[in-house]
Structure 1
């Protein structure tokens, strides 16, 4: 197996796993665990408008699907970074490091930002359905 083939697999693995994580946070956590109304209530409890929960849910769901399928994945990954920055600033920054802190720590959203930036830099990969334009 050549290094190019291994790189193709690695980029695809990153893209799909990152997409699954965004889908888990939108569908499993926000929709099925807390419900969208409950998520909106949480957003309001941390001084964010409730409607932003619905926008965040939609962005994470659409972006997650785009990543899994490989549809303009590099741009989908980077477009989701503001939601992660918001999660760090408004929800997790005061909780410290480590996700087992009450209300979760800030390391996991930061890690997803790093993975999203890596996806931006690596591109969509050979097995993407619709590749983003390359950097020039």
Structure 2
């Protein structure tokens, strides 16, 4: 394999992994487990407007699907970064380790950096977005 081939596969693995994480957090956790109303209530309990919960759910589900499929993956990764910055800030007071009570900040901080890396490296292999017209295919 050439370096360009392995780089494309690496970008693909990064993109899909991030997409699965986002989809799991948005759909399995926030929709199926806590429910959207429960998630909104939690957001309110920590000082955010409940409506932010619905924006986060949308971002995680839509962004996760876009990353998995490779449709506008750079935009999807960039769109998820503010969500993860918010999560990092929310967990900052709990310390470094995500296993700390309330969860630490290292996991959402690492996820933020990985999303930026994905946005910078591009879609990689097997991206359905390559079939989009013109400059959209590069996003």
Q: TM-score, normalised by structure 1?
A: 0.92
Partner of 2:28: 28
Give the aligned partner of residue 10 of structure 1.
Answer: 10
C-alpha distance in 2, partners of 1:23/1:59? 9
Residue correspondences, number: 134
Residue 125 of structure 2 is matched in structure 1 by 126
CA distance in 1, matches of 2:21, 2:49: 24
Q: Which consecutive residues of structure 2, in runs of 5 or more, have no partner in the other structure?
A: 131-135
Runs of 4+ in 1 over 3 A off after TM superposition: 131-135
| Structure 1 residue 133: Cα displacement | 5.7
CA distance in 1, matches of 2:15, 2:120: 12
Structure 1: 5+ residue stretches without partners: none
Mapped contact 2:94–2:103 kept (Cα < 8 A): yes
Report matched runs for 1:1-136 at 5 Å.
Answer: 1-89=1-89, 91-131=90-130, 132=136, 134=138
Deviation at 1:126, TM superposition (A): 3.2
Of Structure 1 and Structure 2, the greater helix share is in 2
Structure 1 residue 74: Cα displacement: 1.0
TM-score, normalising length from structure 2?
A: 0.90
Provide the aligned C-alpha RMSD in A: 1.5
